[in-house]
Amino acid sequence: MEAIRKQATKLREQVARQQQAVLKQFGAGGYGGSDNLVTDEAELHQHQKLEKLYISTRAGKHYQRDIVRGVEGYIVTGSKQLEIGTKLSEDSRKYGSENTCTSGSTLSRAALNHGRARAQMEKERGNLLKALGTQVAEPLRAMVMGAPLEDARHLAQRYDRMRQEAEAQAIEVAKRQAKVRETPGNSESIMKLEAAEAKLQDLKANMAILGKEAAAAMAAVEAQQQRLTLQRLIAMIEAERTYHQRVLQILDQLGGEMISERQRIEASPSPSVDNTMPPPPSYEEVNGVYASQTHNGTTDSMGYFLGEVMHPYQAESDVELNLSIGDYVVVRKVSNNGWAEGECKGKAGWFPFGYVERRDRVLASKVAEVF
């Protein structure tokens, strides 16, 4: 009898250690339990399936959250770029419409075209940011925070807790069985064993039902996650593709306008002095002769005015002026043979009249450069 009692004590200690190991494993929290006491193959398969679904839906949730965060950051950055681009378009249009020095010139038209195109591009950027917010971020955020995912996860966690309870009950049954073997014929021990076994069977039956419900719910959520995430990724790509295509069209049109304007300028023939045109009269001959007078066939019926140099001219004699594009000249006399006399940068002399264009409105700083 003493040997039997020692063996029983040893068995009870072994069972207690197993129970402590199980409780220690489940004490860390989270999903997933021990498979040591699971002997039903169908139940084990169900458990493993739920573990995979739980891990998959958790990874899908984290990926959706990452997409939402990335899109929201892109929207914040894009909004700042939109603000800067809009300011640039306004500055370009303002220069093109208000600049008195080059009003109606090539640069003014180019500035206006650039401002218009930039405004259109920023409008497309705004449409892109709006689409990313409403078509991508909001649906995914609703999925991450939605009830279906949480409900399915709660079912899986309830199943896991019930499975842990069943494992603990299986340990209890093992203890009762050992006690019955120690004291055979003890009716009380037998009744307690039968009650423990009945409870274990109920737990297994309920666990099987709950496991099926949890697996179905998790599978449905996983399918919804994958379908929604794929749809939102496609929507994001389509929105960006539409944006870039539209911006490319705008830039192509703007580039065409700019190139056409440049080609028009480059194709304009530079005025040249007619080979048959007589040389300008000597400056000494006309010095002191002004608009109201005539001398050697030269006349001036327009009075003094300012002219902007449109083409460069290299003086070929001491009585001629060197001209650079953008210079301003006080035109004092225009000859019948195509020459004009005036002053530029403190020097007076003759130059081909076709190289300048009359300007009625000039900045004061430009006038100061003439003298």
Give the DSSP per-residue string, 70-122: HHHHHHHHHHHHHHHHHHHHHHHHHHHHH-SSSTTSHHHHHHHHHHHHHHHHH
In the DSSP assignment, the letter for residue 313 is B
Output the pLDDT for position 354. 85
Q: Which segment of 14-23, 125-134, 347-356 scores lowest on mean pLDDT?
A: 14-23
Decide: 366 and 328 in contact? Cβ < 8 Å: yes
Q: Which segment of 82-96, 184-198, 258-272, 292-306 scores lowest on mean pLDDT?
A: 292-306
Strand, coil or helix: what is 281? coil
pLDDT at 294 over 50: no
Q: Which segment of 53-57, 127-131, 155-159, 299-303 scores lowest on mean pLDDT?
A: 299-303
Please tell me which residue, 43 or 193, carries the higher pLDDT value.
193
Q: How confident is the model at residue 253 (pLDDT cuts 50, 70, 90)?
A: very high
Q: How confident is the model at residue 68 (pLDDT cuts 50, 70, 90)?
A: very high
* CA 348 distance to own-chain centroid: 60
87: tokens are 């300011």
Taking residues 247-260, report their average pLDDT: 90
| pTM for the structure as a whole | 0.56
Q: How far apart are the first and last CA of the chain?
A: 132
Output the pLDDT for position 119. 94
**In which residue ranges of the chain is CATH 1.20.1270.60 found?**
39-267
**For the domain 305-358, what is the CATH superfamily, name and number?**
SH3 Domains (2.30.30.40)
Query: Could you report the per-residue pLDDT of 206-241, keeping only the tens digit for each?
Result: 888 888 888 888 888 889 999 999 999 999 999 999
Please tell me which residue, 275 or 267, carries the higher pLDDT value.
267
Output the pLDDT for position 365. 55
* CA 1 distance to own-chain centroid: 82
Q: How confident is the model at residue 5 (pLDDT cuts 50, 70, 90)?
A: low
pLDDT at 23 over 50: no
Please tell me which residue, 38 or 93, carries the higher pLDDT value.
93
pLDDT at 7 over 70: no
Q: How confident is the model at residue 28 (pLDDT cuts 50, 70, 90)?
A: very low
Q: What is the CATH number of domain 39-267?
A: 1.20.1270.60
Q: What are phi and psi of 234, to 5 degrees?
A: -65, -40
Strand, coil or helix: what is 341? strand
Output the pLDDT for position 318. 83
Q: What rounded mean pLDDT belongs to the chain?
A: 79
∠ at Cα 17 (13, 23), nearest 5°? 140
Can you tell me which residue has the tokens 């953008």? 326
Output the pLDDT for position 292. 37
Q: What are phi and psi of 317, to 5 degrees?
A: -150, 170
**In which residue ranges of the chain is CATH 2.30.30.40 found?**
305-358
Taking residues 80-104, report their average pLDDT: 81
pLDDT at 274 over 80: no
Taking residues 169-187, report their average pLDDT: 85
Output the pLDDT for position 299. 43
Angstrom distance (rounded) from CA 170 to CA 192: 13
pLDDT at 272 over 70: no
